[in-house]
Amino acid sequence: MTLPHSVCEVLRDHVVLESESIDRMYLNVYVPQLQRVGGVVWYLRGHLGQRFASTVTVAPKTDAFVRSIERFVADAEIDLVSFAKHERKDDITREYLQRFDADEGVLYVGRAQEKAWVVRTERRRCARTGMTYPWVVDGSAMVNHYYFYCVDEDFGPFFLKFCASLEFRVGNLGSR
């Protein structure tokens, strides 16, 4: 008689119930080069063609992105829910799911202020000449995030999360 050498060997012939499930899936979508200040500087100078790297020129893109979300909400006649601090998004979503009568679609869009990693431009001064110049730095700030709560016929309920500012690197897909 040989004794088992591992837990796997002990359990191999004694499994009574086998179950597979996904309670929650979380997927971060990002551009790796934009995860560092140097990559953002390259984007500003190399891709956008700025002479000096400055995040100020990205503000119109951010504004356009937020306007497109608001236009989508208005055109689709979907509720835009502003989440209060410490409010449980799952509870609100449960209420919308109970009233939802289609096979799939957007339940509602939520908006919440959350802390995010940011890249911003600050003005620095040259000690030798006294002239100012832009300098790109990273840090954190409170910004709006938009949650698109949806239902898919095959997949079930899920949400897409977007940071309202394109200068910030946040993009998530989650399911409940």
Reported as a single tens digit per residue, the pLDDT across 53-99 is 888 888 888 889 999 999 999 999 999 999 998 889 989 999 999 99
* 132-152/156-163 β-pairing: antiparallel
Contacts of 123 (CB under 8 A, 6+ apart): 132, 133, 134, 135
What pLDDT sits at residue 22?
56
- Would the pTM count as exceeding 0.85? no
Q: Is there a contact between 175 and 25 (Cβ–Cβ < 8 Å)?
A: yes
What pLDDT sits at residue 120?
84
Q: If we measure between CA atoms, which residue out of 83, 114, 115 comes closest to residue 96?
A: 83
**Least confident span in 31-35, 61-65, 118-122, 132-136:** 31-35
Q: Is there a contact between 164 and 143 (Cβ–Cβ < 8 Å)?
A: yes
Q: Is there a contact between 113 and 144 (Cβ–Cβ < 8 Å)?
A: yes
Could you give the maximum distance between any two Cα atoms of the chain, in Å? Answer: 86
What pLDDT sits at residue 17?
64
Q: Using CA atoms, how far apart are residues 18 and 9, in angstroms rounded to an integer?
A: 16
Mean pLDDT of the chain, nearest integer: 82
Task: Tell me what the mean pLDDT of segment 31-40 comes to.
Answer: 82
Task: Tell me what the mean pLDDT of segment 6-11 comes to.
Answer: 70
Percent of the chain with pLDDT over 70: 80
What pLDDT sits at residue 110?
96
Q: Using CA atoms, how far apart are residues 164 and 167, in angstroms rounded to an integer?
A: 9
Q: Using CA atoms, how far apart are residues 168 and 164, in angstroms rounded to an integer?
A: 8
